[in-house]
């Protein structure tokens, strides 16, 4: 037996079916101690189902789960005391104040932060004496984050921690996660914001239809495209149009994808590809009706792997 548990979470061959829907379809994951691991995927990919199985809230139809070196068996109370969990949606009694709610949660854990500390972590000090009923959506989200952290957990599960937050609150939530990382805590979060995954996560698993379809650091995943930039353009109307072969032959173009009138080129060097592209179009007497260039993101990785975007998947 190894004395130190290197992996905070391991799961193998996880399967969960709801009637004819296979929500999780043979999913494998390994989250290392001290890292921030992200599950990125579109709506219905199976992120919540997976994370709930890992949290011991949901029993898988097949597969095994080991969390902090233990399996979910019996009442799991000892294991639960080491976890912090933020559900995608949690509700608290409306007629308790924020401070009372946190004090209640704190009393359930053997150790942890003081109520004041927990409030400070999520910057809710001003709302300490406000009733939960009167909180905005983003403030409730921060309260649930505080409740997840008040037991000073070794492993934190965050299911879409920033959905519904305004940009400023989102940045605060990111700071909280970064602070957790600094203090050596392990974080497993789900999101469908690729900027969030890219910024916070040491490693990301891209999940689609209940399976991990790509895994790596955000950098590795983007590098796997073989191109650092994406050129998107469209040509409207009729007349001669460039073919995929023509476009693929342009200098520094790595891949070509087409969706109706819109094209996506994965390119290595924008300054060489774009002039060549415009020249080809000009030869055919066309002009792009749209043209944009951005650095490749995790979104592009997802599109490349599935042919769909995260939003419309």
Nearer to ligand ATP, 49 or 86 (CB): 49
Q: Kindly state whether residue 90 participates in binding other proteins, applying the rule CB under 8 A.
A: yes
The contacts of residue 30 (CB under 8 Å, 6+ apart) are 7, 9, 10, 11
| Contact range with ligand ATP by CB under 6 A, out of 44-52, 143-151, 168-176, 247-255 | 44-52
- Beta carbon of residue 50, minimum distance to Mg ion (angstroms, whole number): 9
Q: Kindly state whether residue 49 participates in binding ligand ATP, applying the rule CB under 6 A.
A: yes
Nearer to Mg ion, 88 or 306 (CB): 88
Q: How far apart are CA 187 and CA 201, in angstroms?
A: 9
Nearer to Mg ion, 189 or 265 (CB): 189
| Contact range with other proteins by CB under 8 A, out of 15-23, 38-46, 98-106, 178-186 | 98-106
Q: Kindly state whether residue 192 participates in binding ligand ATP, applying the rule CB under 6 A.
A: yes
Which residue among 8, 14, 29, 48 contacts ligand ATP (CB under 6 A)?
Answer: 48
Residues that bind other proteins (CB under 8 A): 55, 57, 75, 77-78, 80-81, 85, 87, 89-96, 100, 103-105, 107-110, 151
Give the residues lining the site for Mg ion (CB under 5 A).
Answer: 47-48, 88
């Amino acid at each position: 037996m190894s004395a130190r548990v290197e992996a905070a979470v391991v799961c193998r061959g996880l399967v969960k079916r709801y009637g004819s829907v296979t929500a999780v379809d043979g999913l494998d994951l390994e989250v290392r101690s001290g890292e921030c691991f992200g599950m990125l995927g579109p709506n219905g990919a199976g992120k919540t189902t997976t994370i709930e199985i890992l949290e011991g809230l949901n029993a898988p139809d097949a597969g095994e789960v080991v969390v902090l070196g233990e399996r979910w068996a019996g009442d799991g109370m000892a294991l639960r005391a080491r976890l912090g969990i933020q559900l995608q949606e949690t509700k608290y009694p409306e007629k308790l104040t924020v401070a009372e709610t946190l004090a209640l949660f704190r009393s359930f854990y053997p150790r942890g932060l003081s109520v004041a500390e927990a409030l400070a972590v999520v910057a809710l000090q001003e709302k300490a004496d406000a009733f939960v009923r009167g909180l905005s959506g983003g403030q409730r989200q921060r309260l649930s984050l505080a409740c997840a952290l008040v037991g000073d957990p070794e492993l934190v599960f965050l299911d879409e921690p920033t959905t519904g937050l305004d940009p400023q609150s989102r940045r605060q939530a990111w700071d909280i996660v970064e602070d957790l990382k600094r203090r050596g805590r392990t974080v497993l979060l789900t999101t469908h914001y690729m900027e969030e995954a890219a910024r916070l996560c040491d490693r990301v698993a891209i999940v689609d239809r209940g399976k991990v379809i790509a895994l790596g650091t955000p950098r590795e995943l983007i590098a796997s495209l073989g191109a650092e930039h994406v050129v998107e353009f469209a040509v409207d109307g009729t007349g001669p149009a460039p073919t995929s072969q023509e476009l693929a032959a342009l200098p520094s173009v790595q891949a070509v994808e087409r969706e109706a009138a819109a094209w996506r080129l994965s390119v290595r060097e924008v300054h060489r590809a774009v002039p060549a592209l415009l020249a080809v179009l000009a030869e055919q007497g066309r002009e792009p009706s749209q043209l944009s260039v951005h650095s490749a993101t995790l979104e592009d990785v997802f599109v490349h792997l599935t042919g769909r975007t995260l939003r419309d998947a």
